[in-house]
Structure 1
């Protein structure tokens, strides 16, 4: 595939954002059409690019942008700008997070600690309409799925929100449940996943 590939970077650390842009641009046929540090900035800039028919081919997306979730950006892009392919490029890749990203229709998932070649392999695979998940992240997904399938539907919903780093008050509000119900769900989730508390759950499935 010889034509120029445009990409957009969403990453809240200034140096890392710049580093990713430079790394990819150095490859010759990739050109950066924009970057953002937050969800609002990202969606604003992407809608501007859409008006000019200059949407990126690929969006390189960090998952945790300060207090914001990159998963919200992923869902919005996939719902409203479906031509944009999204690679999640994250420091955190426990199976719960990878699973949430794939459920949100991410086209690829690569760890920031992986060699550069892994990121480029993901970009090339995605341009060829494949989905790309870094190989080391695949096996833990199966173990995670068997744990996840052992939860009831509502427990699964609560569990996913916990993995996404939502606070208790956000969860009760979003699910329209009272604190006491949430406590019940949490104790069942801890029991079924073999975790003592919230911190252990995040460490095991979400970091």
Structure 2
């Protein structure tokens, strides 16, 4: 899809780091077949921008989405974008390569998964693949997924970064309200994270979680 006769792919870039957005913008400016239509600094801002673009029938073909952002993260934003605008593809881009994030992103409806150290050509390839409704996964992440299929993770290896943090806070004796305050999330979300963490670890209580965290060396015994 190169050359002057190729379709122009419209892209919205979502990242809370200005330097990342500027870098991607500078690269897209050099391409004939990819056009940056707007930028957003977090998930909520992305939804606002998409609503405005939709009003003028100018929705992008692809959203290039960071995962870790304030207010609304990339996974929640991806799910909402796919619900509201099913014709818009989402390619997730993050500095983390854990397969748990890949699963969450793909389950939310992303059609691509890039690491932030990907080269410009790889970013463009992922955007073009998403436009063709093809799944594009960073080779390093694909290898990790393959290894996981052979030897599925167990124990704390099954936790996302957020769930691991919640496990540590639980082990430190924090209540759901205190966890919510510490992570700047709602108490309901904190309760969900605790429940998911206990379910993944096949534990029945916060006390069991605290003992496991000590055993794994995540916290020091008090």
Residues paired across the two proteins, number: 189
In structure 2, the CA distance between the partners of 1:172 and 1:60, relative to structure 1 (3 Å rule), is same
Query: Match for residue 147 of structure 1?
Result: 153
1:61 equivalent in alignment to 2:82: no
Query: Match for residue 197 of structure 1?
Result: 218
Secondary structure of 1:99 counterpart: helix
**Counterparts of 1:188 and 1:71, CA distance in 2:** 30
Instruction: Choose the corresponding residue for 2:115, options 105, 111, 114.
Output: 111
Query: Match for residue 188 of structure 2?
Result: 173
**How far did residue 186 of structure 1 move?**
3.6
Query: Match for residue 80 of structure 1?
Result: 84
1:14 equivalent in alignment to 2:35: no
**Counterparts of 2:206 and 2:53, CA distance in 1:** 44
Query: Match for residue 183 of structure 1?
Result: 206
Instruction: Choose the corresponding residue for 1:34, options 38, 49, 52.
Output: 38
**Counterparts of 1:185 and 1:126, CA distance in 2:** 43
Which runs of no fewer than 5 residues in structure 2 stay unpaired? 170-178
TM-score by length of 2: 0.71
Secondary structure of 2:124 counterpart: helix
| Stretch deviating more after TM superposition (19-28 or 61-70) | 61-70
**Counterparts of 2:124 and 2:92, CA distance in 1:** 13
Larger Rg: 2
Query: Match for residue 176 of structure 2?
Result: none
1:48 equivalent in alignment to 2:52: yes
1:81-102 Cα shifts (integer Å, max 9, x gaps): 1111111111112212122111
Secondary structure of 1:64 counterpart: coil
| Stretch deviating more after TM superposition (115-124 or 160-169) | 160-169
Secondary structure of 2:127 counterpart: helix
Query: Match for residue 162 of structure 1?
Result: 162
**Counterparts of 2:123 and 2:68, CA distance in 1:** 18
Query: Match for residue 131 of structure 2?
Result: 127
**Counterparts of 1:68 and 1:23, CA distance in 2:** 26
In structure 2, the CA distance between the partners of 1:196 and 1:70, relative to structure 1 (3 Å rule), is same
1:70 equivalent in alignment to 2:93: no
**Counterparts of 1:105 and 1:19, CA distance in 2:** 25
Secondary structure of 1:93 counterpart: coil
Secondary structure of 2:153 counterpart: helix
> Does the Cα contact within 8 Å between 2:14 and 2:39 map onto a contact in 1?
yes
TM-score by length of 1: 0.75
**Counterparts of 2:125 and 2:69, CA distance in 1:** 25
Which runs of no fewer than 5 residues in structure 1 stay unpaired? 199-207
Secondary structure of 1:40 counterpart: helix
